[in-house]
């Protein structure tokens, strides 16, 4: 199947336009996501662009990968939740507050909801209800499944690692590995990827 942008996947699944939320000071994607133009692997802090708590220092001239990336929270998929003060706000579910970054990926196997830990231990702390709410919003029949990436996952890249990221050389040409455990596999729908004790890849 032809690859769709995350925005197109969500619009097709929900049937309506996306009202984007502002990133503000969130910089979670600057570490979690890979950036082809910089040769930056997944789960690697950006050495050139990102100032934690401030945002991209060259935002106006950021690489195309960064320019087109829209996480699930920004596109309104992640529901507002209660903060420690009891107030309900979508700011509390922002990746740098919740600890999870959601993304949509479309490939020859289907459309996937990807869930990345922003720091260790979040999967054990955040209720699975949040993921289930997103799956329900997208519609179980419209996505192939959910893929979970614990913090620091060694995710393969399809481009050469940059000079600033020598550790990424070991990830070149490797598949996008993911892990399933506990009850997460119950969220998989239709075209399920391999589910083994060591995780899977697709």
29 by Cβ neighbours in 10 Å (0-12 / 13-18 / 19+) ranks as buried
CA distance 195 to 199: 6
Return the ∠ at Cα 81 (arms to 76 and 86), rounded to 5°.
150
Each residue's pLDDT tens digit, 153-189 = 889 999 999 999 999 999 998 877 665 444 444 433 3
Residue 79 to residue 88: CA distance in whole angstroms: 10
Mean pLDDT to the nearest integer, 31-37: 94
Average pLDDT in the 33-43 region? 94
Strand partners, 145: 112
The mean pLDDT value of the chain amounts to 78
Q: From CA 166, how far away is CA 199, in angstroms rounded?
A: 25
Q: What is the pLDDT of residues 62-84, one digit of tens each?
A: 899 999 898 999 988 899 999 88
- Specify the higher pLDDT residue, 137 or 141: 137
User: What whole-number distance in Å separates Cα of residue 28 and Cα of residue 45?
Assistant: 9
Q: pTM to 2 decimals?
A: 0.79
Q: How far apart are CA 58 and CA 60, in angstroms?
A: 6
Provide the pLDDT confidence category of residue 146 given band limits of 50, 70 and 90. Answer: confident
Q: In 3-state terms, what secondary structure has residue 31?
A: helix
Q: What 3-state class would DSSP assign to 67?
A: helix
Task: Kindly report the length of the chain.
Answer: 202
Pair of tokens at residue 91: 């700011």
What DSSP letter does each residue of 96-156 carry, written as one string? HHHSEEEEEEEETTEEEEEEEESSTTHHHHS-THHHHHHHHHH-GGG--EEEEE-TT----
């Amino acid at each position: 199947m032809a690859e769709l942008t995350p925005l197109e996947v969500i619009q097709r699944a929900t049937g309506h336009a996306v009202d984007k939320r502002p990133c503000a000071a969130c910089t979670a994607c600057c570490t979690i996501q890979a950036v082809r133009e910089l040769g930056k692997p997944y789960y690697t802090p950006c050495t050139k662009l990102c100032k934690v708590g401030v945002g991209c220092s060259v935002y106006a001239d950021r690489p195309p990968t960064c320019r087109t990336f829209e996480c699930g929270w920004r596109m309104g998929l992640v529901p507002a939740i209660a903060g420690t003060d009891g107030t309900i706000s979508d700011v509390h579910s922002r990746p740098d507050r919740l600890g999870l970054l959601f993304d949509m990926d479309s490939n020859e196997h289907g459309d996937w909801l990807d869930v990345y830990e922003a720091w260790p231990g979040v999967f054990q702390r955040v209720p699975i209800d949040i993921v289930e709410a997103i799956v329900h919003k997208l519609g179980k029949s419209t996505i192939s499944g959910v893929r979970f990436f614990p913090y620091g996952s060694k995710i393969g890249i399809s481009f050469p690692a940059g000079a600033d990221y020598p550790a990424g050389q070991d990830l070149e040409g490797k598949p996008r590995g993911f892990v399933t455990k506990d009850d997460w596999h119950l969220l998989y729908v239709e075209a399920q990827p391999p589910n083994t004790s060591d995780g899977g890849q697709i």
